[in-house]
Amino acid sequence: MDFIGAYSPDHIVFLLKGFLVTLEVAGISILLSFLLGAILGIVRYTKVPVFAQISAIFVETIRNLPLLLIIFFVYFALPEVGIKLSITWSAILALTIFESAMLAEIIRSGLNSVHKGQMEAGRSSGLSYIQTLWYIILPQGVRRMVPPIVSQFISLLKDTSLAVVIALPEMMHNAQVLNAQNINYIIPIFILVAVIYFIVNFALSLVARRLELNM
């Protein structure tokens, strides 16, 4: 094992560049999946006919499938029906599909956790259904959603490593590039990658815990 060679400044910069791609892809995916997840979750919460059922089927199916299958599907199968995306956008689309199903459930249970009396009180004080949802229910629900959403973001950061299978140049991919140069780099590089992941995710999990305690 060659720790000194493996941890040369060039290599560390190369890995961190990969981690930037990880953060970028994960960041865009979480934003998109928050939007999509919010629509799916709210539609299911408000029980809009037909749309609520479609949302339920989508969420339950996607949640019960492996992410890797979705990544493969987006990258290898969609071109067969004429949808061809770059590697980066394939990864973002796959992660967004998967995470939006997870976020939809978080958002729905956040809304459900707001006491029913709140809706009744809002409605009887003259607010419309939409107004009650927007001004009364959502602000209370959102506070409860934040900690699980942070945890979900941790999972997303970890899951982004799966995009190595379609050669997205994220940290895992760059680690493999370094490993191919010298067999003695393999263990030190994997340890470093694990430590980088650990530091970032552990910090995030502390944030999530703090937020939970503040409620």
Partner 1 sequence: MLDFTILTDNMGMFLEGFKNTLIVSLLALIGSFILGTLIAVFRIAPIKPLNWIGTIYVEFFRNIPLLIILFFIFIGLPVLGIRFSGFQAGTIALTVYTAAFIAEAIRAGVLSVHKGQTEAARSSGLTYIQTMRYIILPQAIKIVIPPLGNQFLNLVKNSSILTIVAAGELMYQGDLISSRTFVTFDVYIFIALFYLIITLPLSYGINRLEKSLAKSN
Q: Is the dihedral of CA 12, 18, 21, 25 positive or negative?
A: negative
Nearer to partner 1, 128 or 182 (CB): 182
Is 13 a binding residue for partner 1 by CB under 8 A? The answer is: no
Of 90, 62, 65, the C-alpha closest to 75 is 90
Query: Does the footprint of partner 1 cover residue 165 (CB under 8 A)?
Result: yes
Nearer to partner 1, 24 or 127 (CB): 24
Amino acid identity at 5:
G
Q: Which of 115, 158, 209, 210 binds partner 1 (CB under 8 A)?
A: 158
Q: Exposure string (b/e) for 109-122, b if CB count within 10 Å is 16 or more?
A: ebbeebeeeebeeb
Number of residues in contact with partner 1, rule: CB under 8 A?
Answer: 39
Closer of 105 and 111 to partner 1 (Cβ): 105
Closest CA to 174 of 5, 6, 3: 6
Candidates 1, 13, 54, 121; binder of partner 1 (CB under 8 A) is: 1
Nearer to partner 1, 142 or 166 (CB): 166
The Cβ of residue 71 has, within 10 Å, a number of other Cβ atoms equal to 24
CB of 2 to partner 1, least distance (A): 10
Residue 202 makes contact with partner 1 by CB under 8 A: yes
Nearer to partner 1, 92 or 172 (CB): 172
Does 159 help bind partner 1 (rule: CB under 8 A)? Answer: yes
Burial of 7 per CB tally in 10 Å (0-12, 13-18, 19+): middle
H-helix or E-strand containing 107? Answer: helix 87-112
- Position 91 contacts partner 1 (CB under 8 A): no
Binding mask 60-89 toward partner 1 (x if CB under 8 A, else -) reads xx-xxxxxxx--xx--xxx-xx--------
Place of tokens 């999530």: 208
Could you tell me the two tokens for 157? Answer: 């950061």
Q: How far apart are CA 162 and CA 156, in angstroms?
A: 10
Residues in the site for partner 1, rule: CB under 8 A? 1, 60-61, 63-69, 72-73, 76-78, 80-81, 154, 158-159, 161-162, 164-165, 172, 176, 179, 183-184, 186-187, 190, 193-194, 197-198, 201-202, 205
